[in-house]
Amino acid sequence: MGRLGDAGHSAVIVGRDPSARGRRQADRGCVERYTPSGEGYLTSRLDSVDVAREPMIAPSLLSADFARLADEAQRVADADWLHVDVMDAHFVPNLTLGLPVVQAIQRVSPVPLDCHLMIDEPGRWAPGYAEAGVRNVTVHAEACSDPRTVARDIRAGGALAGLALRPGTPLEDYLDVLTEFDTLLVMTVEPGFGGQAFMPEVLPKVRRARELVQTGHLTLFLEVDGGINADTIEQAAEAGADVFVAGSAVYGAEDPARAIAALRARAAGVGRG
């Protein structure tokens, strides 16, 4: 997918089926229009009207059964995004999966993919995930030597660009480059493994980012990842998050669809910070 605008306002392919589900997901994250040629939906660079109007739930495939990934993607068809953790055993100690597996998941997933790249040299690898059709591609600030260029290359490939921060990484160090990004992912655990306990001490970072969104300094989805469940999602929502990555809280539930609905309702029931 090529660039359909300038670096700051490029358009990206975000879907290929003008279904009711696609329209519902548009309401939760993107302003979409269907092209006359029928090639797919297009969404322009995030504007203030594009910010999520209701909480978005992104189940983490890291908590799924890796022997049944196609089936596991179908189990969360009521989600907004499907969160896929890509780990290289260098930036983080764990090793998960790479682009060929993501491409296979992309072909069968009923919801857009949200790829979180916990890898070295993201500038080299991230554009490939965008070109594969991933909705949102997030790279780690700590691994980027030139975050602006990485963001522009991701968008040129056809995806929203996200920047992730470890719990100990100050938000202030990246305020000048966040204008190039569409998503800020605040880690509420240390990256690398699922099943860790939620770190509430990170929430002031989310609150500060929400203040900057509300005052118009940034236009971003505010995503949180790590330890999100029925007991912690309200804290994160109150701080200002609007996209919630949940692993075992969804995939460990007897009924993932009901778990997704319950998490969304809990987040929607509190005011943002």
Q: How far apart are the first and last CA of the chain?
A: 37
Query: Which DSSP category does 82 fall into?
Result: E
Q: Which of 50, 78, 80, 85 is catalytic?
A: 85
- CB contact at 8 A, 148 and 115: no
225 is annotated as an active-site residue: yes
Residues 78, 114, 182, 225: which is the catalytic one?
Answer: 225
Signed CA dihedral, 17, 134, 249, 187: sign only? negative
Residue 166 · residue 140 · CB < 8 Å: yes
Please give the torsion angle defined by the CA atoms of residues 168, 169, 171 and 175, in that order, rounded to the nearest 10 degrees. 180
Contacts of 136 (CB under 8 A, 6+ apart): 81, 112, 113, 114, 115, 159, 160, 161, 162, 182, 183, 221
Q: Are the CB atoms for 246 and 55 separated by under 8 Å?
A: no
Tell me the two tokens of residue 56: 């978005």
**Number of H-type helices and E-type strands within the chain:** 9, 11
Catalytic residues: 85, 225
